[in-house]
Amino acid sequence: MRALFATLGLLFVVVGCSTTPDLKRPVATENIARIKRVGVTSFLGDTVYGISLGTTSFNYAEFSAPVPDWKIDETAISQALAILRRGGRFQAAALDRTSYDTEGLLADGAKLLWEQAASQGFDTLVVVLPAVSESFRVFKPGYGIFERAFLSISHRCLYAAYEVDVYDVAARKRIAWQWGGDEGTPCLADSEQRLPFKARFDDYSVAEKRAMREGIEARIAETLAKALNKLELVSPRDAGR
């Protein structure tokens, strides 16, 4: 996973800008006018995280586990496409990257990413990337369950920590981005009361894992709609329908 983040970081270097809050902006009107066909892809990955912050540093706990069967990237892509297509403003489709893994796609200045996007007829690319803001560094980029406990009181939530970037394919340049959540907030505090925090992912039952997955998917769907609205790729009416 560390190698993956390093590879994704290369994409930011390639496009010549960093993920700092002062650069967060919607797609400019002149760029909107040029958009005809939008490609969508996601690099959220196949790892779920668990993080528990206790009263002291000795009470800290975390886990990570592979969940390829959850197909979170496929879910994020399908959710984004459904939102983008509601208003019929642009043609939108998933970027076909079945022939390449993430590292290969983004290697050598993300050469294959741009080539694939162009060959598939996309002038614009919407990319969902794992990320956290400086204000929420206690979260792992990506998704999972988070708990903050103080004495006998626990506050839990299912979270999704990511950003949505928009790229001009021909220029190979990022033209806009937004957090996947209000100002980068990965989750709503106290929004998850059904699931306890457990030391290992394998300690959760099948039903609990399903509930965790469904809650994460719901969080991604809600925040994606807000992000695409803020990017001005959809109207508020179409984002929330």
pTM, to two decimals: 0.87
Tens digit of pLDDT for each residue in 113-140? Answer: 999 999 999 999 999 999 998 889 999 9
Q: Look up residue 191 and give its two tokens.
A: 């929004």
Q: What mean pLDDT do residues 88-113 have?
A: 89
Between 189 and 40, name the one with better pLDDT: 40
Q: What mean pLDDT do residues 178-198 have?
A: 85
Q: Would you place residue 236 in the very low, low, confident or very high pLDDT band (cuts 50, 70, 90)?
A: low
d(CA 41, CA 22): 24
CA distances for 50 relative to 65, 160, 179, 198, 236, angstroms = 9, 12, 21, 8, 33
Predicted local distance difference test score (pLDDT) of residue 57: 64
d(CA 140, CA 161): 7
* 120: nearest Cα among 83, 80, 88, 92: 92
- Split into its structural domains, the chain has a count of 1
Please report, rounded to a whole number, the percentage of residues in the chain having pLDDT higher than 90. Answer: 64
User: What SS3 class is residue 5?
Assistant: helix
Predicted local distance difference test score (pLDDT) of residue 58: 65
Residues in the chain: 241
Predicted local distance difference test score (pLDDT) of residue 11: 56
Domain of 105? 2-240
DSSP state, residue 25: B
Give Cβ neighbours of residue 227 (< 8 Å, ≥ 6 apart). 163, 164, 178, 179, 180, 181
